[in-house]
Structure 1
């Protein structure tokens, strides 16, 4: 037996447990949590859900959608009226890279594209603004039993019109 054949045989045997582990690990997951949106001018909040699929144990895709639940009020100087900023919705799609850091913990980085709609209202007059953004961020998940866990994320949204927002989220995560 040549050295090359022996090396290939040893490498193949070493990869069998890795391949078996990768196939037994859950690849589908969903999250539900709260996201704080900070633009520098306005601070808003949303309930955010995600659905993801790991193509490989370290690479996946993720869809995200959020609905505003926390508005910000402001005073309008003409007539002493007040108004509100309200997050109507967020929708985004991401490519995600995962870094397993033990049996119950993993870090991730993600990059994607999204759209956000915000409405401002003053004395019965509403203005809606929608923006598309290039998004990127990092986070981590800790699993209590391998199926249920907690996830924390930071994501930067760079809007096409030059604006930006930082989002911070904490979510319940469930593997399927």
Structure 2
């Protein structure tokens, strides 16, 4: 978590400059500040969890941007490990990304992203609850369809490769409403 906080502190000036520069970039096609709100389903070693996910980003050029992502768990799952049943839940997650955009049509962008995140989990085994967090390198692809100049739908696949051996790597699929400000 300390590593993620350090990364966020280092990234904050970049995002702040991007947000401040976005209005002056309005002459560039399809740049500016955007946000998404949606649902993310995660699968790791048989555990299917879910979270409400929000993103805030700045598209600095038509092909590059930065974004921050926060999510809070809303769906837990029961898993069996070596005959022992437990419950696992993602309580929250935070990440920062560099994002590449490939405009395919005026209304469709393909998206690639690479970033660093931290996720906290809660596990309940035999009535005993424990929490742990794990840092991850995240990468993925997606697409965004723009309904009009401000509104759209975004779908992503992200792979979370956790650095802590206690956490299984996760495949995350998300869908959400996208809004350009």
For the superposition of Structure 1 and Structure 2, which TM-score range results when normalised by the shorter chain?
0.7 to 0.9
Aligned residues: 154
Q: Offset at 1:24?
A: 5.6
Counterpart position of 1:27: 32
Counterpart position of 2:169: 164
Q: Offset at 1:125?
A: 1.3
RMSD of Structure 2 on Structure 1 (CA): 2.0
Within a 5 Å distance, the mapping from 1:24-173 to structure 2 comes to 25-74=30-79, 83-162=86-165, 163-173=168-178
The Cα offsets for residues 39-64 of structure 1, whole Å up to 9 and x where unpaired, read as 12311000000001011111000000
Structure 2 CA distance for aligned equivalents of residues 66 and 166 of structure 1 = 15
Structure 2 CA distance for aligned equivalents of residues 22 and 34 of structure 1 = 33
Give the TM-score of the pair, scaled to structure 1. 0.80
Structure 1 gap ranges (5+):
1-19
Q: Offset at 1:122?
A: 3.0
Q: Offset at 1:34?
A: 0.5
Structure 1 CA distance for aligned equivalents of residues 71 and 136 of structure 2 = 15
Pair 112,173 (structure 1): closer, same or farther in 2 beyond 3 Å: same
Give 1 or 2 for the bigger CA radius of gyration: 1
Structure 2 gap ranges (5+):
1-24
Structure 1 CA distance for aligned equivalents of residues 26 and 35 of structure 2 = 21
Counterpart contact for 2:41–2:50, Cα < 8 Å: yes
